[in-house]
């Protein structure tokens, strides 16, 4: 169960880091940093972040369906999954730094709720 928690947390962190790279892209260009959005473009980074979040949502539902955690996990992680869906919508409504920042903040909240769901589901 510990490794499952690590994978869930890692997927969310990957998506959030991709968003932070998009948000910091202008500064990275000035400093000649080679990040995914600088090298391959914003759209590629957003597609990868979206795919990561969708995979994460699928994994959390699979974990819940197979009963790897107590039923409380399903109820609480559903809130985190909804927040991830909202962040995906923010990403694709506009590529502005403000939209990316909002999506990143929503993912932080989702991360906290996700950790709470794992704790509640482990009891």
10-residue averages of pLDDT along the chain (123 residues)? 69 91 88 92 94 94 86 92 94 83 92 90 81
Give pLDDT, residue 10: 87
Show the domain range for 46: 2-122
Number of domains forming the structure of the chain: 1
pTM of the model: 0.88
In this predicted structure, what is the pLDDT of residue 3?
A: 59
32 phi, psi to nearest 5 deg:
60, 30
Domain containing 72 — which CATH number? 1.20.120
CA atoms within 13 A on the CB side of 39: 5
């Amino acid at each position: 169960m510990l490794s499952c928690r690590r994978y869930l947390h890692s997927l969310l962190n990957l998506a959030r880091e991709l968003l932070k790279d998009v948000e910091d892209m202008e500064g990275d260009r000035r400093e000649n940093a080679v990040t995914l959005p600088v090298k391959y473009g914003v759209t590629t980074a957003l597609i990868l972040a979206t795919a990561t979040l969708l995979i994460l949502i699928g994994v959390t539902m699979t974990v819940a369906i197979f009963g790897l955690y107590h039923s409380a996990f399903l109820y609480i992680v559903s809130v985190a999954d909804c927040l991830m869906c909202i962040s995906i919508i923010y990403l694709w409504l506009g590529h502005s730094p403000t939209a990316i920042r909002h999506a990143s903040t929503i993912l932080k909240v989702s991360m906290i709720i996700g950790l709470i769901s794992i704790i509640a589901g482990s009891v």
